[in-house]
Amino acid sequence: MSAPKEQGTARHPARLTARAGWISGGVLLVGLAVLVAHRGEPRRFLELARDARPLWLGVAIALQAATYACAAGVWQRALKHSGMSVRLRDLLPLGLAKLFADQALPSAGLSGTVLVLRSLRGRGVPRGFSVTAMLAGLASSYVAYAISLAIALGILAHRGEVHRALLALAIVFAVLTAGVLLAVFLLRGRAAQRLPGFLLRLPVVRETLAALAEAPPGPLFSLRLGIETTAMQLGIFALDAATLAVVLHALVTPVAPELVFASFVVASVVATLAWVPGGLGTFEGTCVAMLHVHGIALEPAMAATLLLRGFSFWLPMAPGLWIARREMLQRPPEF
């Protein structure tokens, strides 16, 4: 009788943390809207809406749909590396489910990763293969993050725009990336003894550690698999940045693609480190600030950022919730 009580006690702080995160993010987003309205011209938003090009907004939605194919491709390649063939279309719903899990509970991507593991097990994928696919997705996403951030910093350095705050951001994210990769490659089977107790009380951390302990012996990835999965994760970054560029084009506000990419990546990294669900408020504020620094007026910068978030964050939430619930009910996890 004690196990359910302990489990409920462990989950209660996580729910409180998620709720506090949503409230904090909402306050930040409202504050940003008030600031832009105060410093900008509200009627300019009406002009942007009037002059928007609907066709390009459709292109933006198509680009976002392609990101889910890239995410599914990561897991498909990892499973094929393990000797198991799964159709890409069967893995596409997991992209939406993972997106919802990552955004509903801030965990630097671990919530969605654990959901993928459970979903693959629910599809009858052997535990070892599921763990390999999960870890391949987790590791390659952080490697792609690091590469994208390095490219963004290179773009900004070429323009003389790398300041101490950006360098500090890069260092913090590099430490996080190194920690995740060390956990994947070095802590298998011994991770629980190497982490502080407060982390072990988080359900998502415990499940991730249990998955690491179940990873098959020997090397998890080949060089080829690492290159393929990282390339697909980089494709997600490119598609997301392209979505932002297309939205700006739809609003008749063109900007250099490399600056859009740098702005998007920096905003994504800030959102990841902020530990707020989906980076709510933190992503929007950073993205608007980055675009404004590069010559975009506040009104189109805010409008483009909100449209991007509508396509990539809010629009997939409802189907993501439905798919996540369905995936969780397929089969109970066997940790």
Q: What is the dihedral of CA 174, 179, 181, 185, to 10 degrees?
A: 150
Residue 192's contacts (CB-CB under 8 Å, 6 or more residues apart) are 200, 209, 213
Residue 313, CA distances (Å) to 194, 240, 274 in order: 35, 11, 16
- Residue in 109, 87, 86 with CA at minimum distance from that of residue 99: 109
Q: Consecutive 10-residue runs of the chain (335 residues): their mean pLDDT?
A: 45 60 76 76 76 89 92 88 83 78 58 73 76 82 94 94 90 86 65 55 58 62 88 95 94 90 95 80 92 91 91 81 70 46
- Residue in 331, 332, 112, 131 with CA at minimum distance from that of residue 214: 131
Confidence at residue 325, expressed as pLDDT on a 0 to 100 scale: 72
**Stated pTM of the model:** 0.80
Neighbouring C-beta atoms of residue 57, cutoff 10 Å: 18
Confidence at residue 92, expressed as pLDDT on a 0 to 100 scale: 85
Confidence at residue 193, expressed as pLDDT on a 0 to 100 scale: 55
282-293 vs 2-39: helix axis angle to the nearest 10?
30
Confidence at residue 179, expressed as pLDDT on a 0 to 100 scale: 80
Confidence at residue 8, expressed as pLDDT on a 0 to 100 scale: 47
Tokens found for residue 293: 């620094």
Place of tokens 């802590």: 187
Confidence at residue 335, expressed as pLDDT on a 0 to 100 scale: 41
Rounded distance between C-alpha atoms, residue 135 and residue 82, angstroms: 12
Confidence at residue 274, expressed as pLDDT on a 0 to 100 scale: 81
Sign of the dihedral through C-alpha 242, 234, 132, 14: negative
Confidence at residue 126, expressed as pLDDT on a 0 to 100 scale: 78
Confidence at residue 104, expressed as pLDDT on a 0 to 100 scale: 60
Confidence at residue 213, expressed as pLDDT on a 0 to 100 scale: 63
